[in-house]
Structure 1
Amino acid sequence: MPDLLTIARDGDVVVLTLGRPDRRNALNLALCREIHEAVVDAVDQEARALVVTGDGSAFCAGADLDGVYGDEFIEALYRMLHHLAEVPVPVIAAVNGPAIGAGTQLAIACDLRVVDERARFAVPTARNGMAVDAWTIRTLAQLAGSGRARRVMLAADTIDRDEALSCGLADRAGRLEDAVAWAHEIATLAPLTLAHNKLVLNGSTDDERIAQSFADVWASEDVKEAATARAEKRDPIFRGH
């Protein structure tokens, strides 16, 4: 039986590949849990950036409606999505095909999106009588704009690759190798700064946590390393402490 999720480490970058191409990488309970565990492990092992993609011709076709679909799945899905948004390292979605329903949710839980020519986004809950949480709708509106989010959520419309790039839902055109190359570039940046920026960008309202993150950046050895590197006319080597 093929793995539900393939995990590959490439230096400071970890690539997670959804491995259900026969189901167009639809999310089931086990896959949601595996993604969550893999992200926890990657951060614990000090990965500097993560890439999420799908095997085959789809990024993720949504929730597997033929599988177990109840409270346990819903809890695992949102636990995984919200954890992706909260981990202190940047996560890039390499959207290699349709990202539908929970696939769009997975893509927007990542911090950046690289899209190939087959990519498209939709959240067709109005067609299946289901619902997504407020975080999903608000995040979609922040990334794609309120008007496009209304089209997606109220008219069950689809955003194609070109429109996603033009409106900000997608960040770059490219394939998996382009996303991995970008992740390696990001992995050379200051980890504490990236964690602080992500904390604020993703809407944390914990002022005490934000203040501590800000203080940690300015008290870090990385600030000193950047100054030394400037004086020595070389690239800084950041350690994340």
Structure 2
Amino acid sequence: MLGTRADGPVTVLELRREERRNALDLALCRELAAASRQAVDDGARVIVVTGAGTAFCSGADLGGVYGQEFLDALYGMLHGLTRLPVPLVAAVNGPAIGAGTQLALACDLRVADRTAKFGVPTARNGMAVDAWTMRTLAAVAGGGIARRLMLAAETVDRDQALACGLADRAGDLDAAMAWAHEIATLAPLTLAHNKLVLNGGEQAAIDESFARCWASDDVREAAAARAEKRAPVFRGR
């Protein structure tokens, strides 16, 4: 249900439930959580999340069994992605609805193809999403868009998403991969620190990561590279 491949410092996680338009069920949530952690352990500097076929993720699998076990797996996976110390890029290759929009929001950056669209239609099915989802949506796309999605159950297309900041760039998986490879050349400790701050990490952890950046070999490598008029090679230490 989940394809994993490494392309140098970039790992691609591809949802492969085309017959269900890549809807998330209990098993896929758990696979995503485990595979993303494994990618970091294996040295990935950037993770790209995408969907097979014509959909990014159509949401939670409405044919599945709902209950606390599924909710724990879904939100454990989503919140876990935000805590990973590497950037995640969502290559939104088609509709990202409900839990699909949540998955895109759990990534740090979003590249949207021409058929991408976003929506959280809980008001149409009597369900609910957590406060993190709505607050992140408002922070990323603005309060107006958040209210349209959450209170009017609207969807936004690729151009609207680009205009409001819900999508960062237009493009397909190749474009997302090219951007991911650019990001992978940046200082890993700095990226981890920046992500921690942007995602509201605890102050003690922020202070520790700040100090770690300034004490790192990478900050000295950057100074040496400037003096030698070359590109720095960061090693994350």
The separation in 2 between residues aligned to 1:159 and 1:134, in whole angstroms, is 20
The separation in 2 between residues aligned to 1:240 and 1:90, in whole angstroms, is 14
1:25 to 22, 25, 30: 22
The separation in 2 between residues aligned to 1:225 and 1:162, in whole angstroms, is 40
Aligned to 2:197: 200
Aligned to 1:103: 100
Query: For residues 8-87 of structure 1, what are the structure 2 equivalents within 5 Å?
Result: 8-87=5-84
Structure 1 runs of 4+ off > 2 angstroms? none
The separation in 1 between residues aligned to 2:219 and 2:146, in whole angstroms, is 39
TM-superposed CA distance for 1:46, in Å, is 1.2
TM-superposed CA distance for 1:94, in Å, is 0.2
Aligned to 1:170: 167
The separation in 2 between residues aligned to 1:9 and 1:209, in whole angstroms, is 29
Per-residue displacement from partner, 1:98-125 (whole Å, max 9, x unpaired)? 0000000000000000000000000000
Aligned to 1:159: 156
TM-superposed CA distance for 1:52, in Å, is 0.2
The separation in 2 between residues aligned to 1:147 and 1:46, in whole angstroms, is 39
Aligned to 1:185: 182
State the identity as a percent.
70
1:221 to 217, 222, 232: 217
Q: Which amino acid aligns with 1:230?
A: R
Q: Which amino acid aligns with 1:10?
A: D
The separation in 2 between residues aligned to 1:31 and 1:207, in whole angstroms, is 33
The separation in 2 between residues aligned to 1:160 and 1:237, in whole angstroms, is 39
TM-superposed CA distance for 1:130, in Å, is 0.3
Aligned residues: 237
Q: Partner of 1:139: helix, strand, or coil?
A: helix
Q: Which amino acid aligns with 1:105?
A: Q
2:208 to 204, 207, 212: 212
Aligned to 1:240: 236
**Residue 132 (structure 2) pairs with residue 124 (structure 1):** no
User: Could you list the runs of 5+ residues in structure 1 that have no partner in the other structure?
Assistant: none
The separation in 2 between residues aligned to 1:70 and 1:26, in whole angstroms, is 16
Q: Alignment RMSD, CA only? A: 0.5
TM-superposed CA distance for 1:160, in Å, is 0.8
Q: Structure 2-normalised TM-score? A: 0.99
The separation in 2 between residues aligned to 1:67 and 1:152, in whole angstroms, is 24
The separation in 2 between residues aligned to 1:82 and 1:49, in whole angstroms, is 17
1:134 to 128, 131, 135: 131
TM-superposed CA distance for 1:203, in Å, is 1.6
Q: Partner of 2:166: helix, strand, or coil?
A: coil
Per-residue displacement from partner, 1:144-199 (whole Å, max 9, x unpaired)? 10011001000001111001001111000000011011100000000000000000
Per-residue displacement from partner, 1:184-241 (whole Å, max 9, x unpaired)? 000000000000000001122x111111010000000000000000000000000000
User: Could you list the runs of 5+ residues in structure 2 that have no partner in the other structure?
Assistant: none
TM-superposed CA distance for 1:69, in Å, is 1.4
Aligned to 1:91: 88
Per-residue displacement from partner, 1:36-65 (whole Å, max 9, x unpaired)? 000010011110000000000000000001
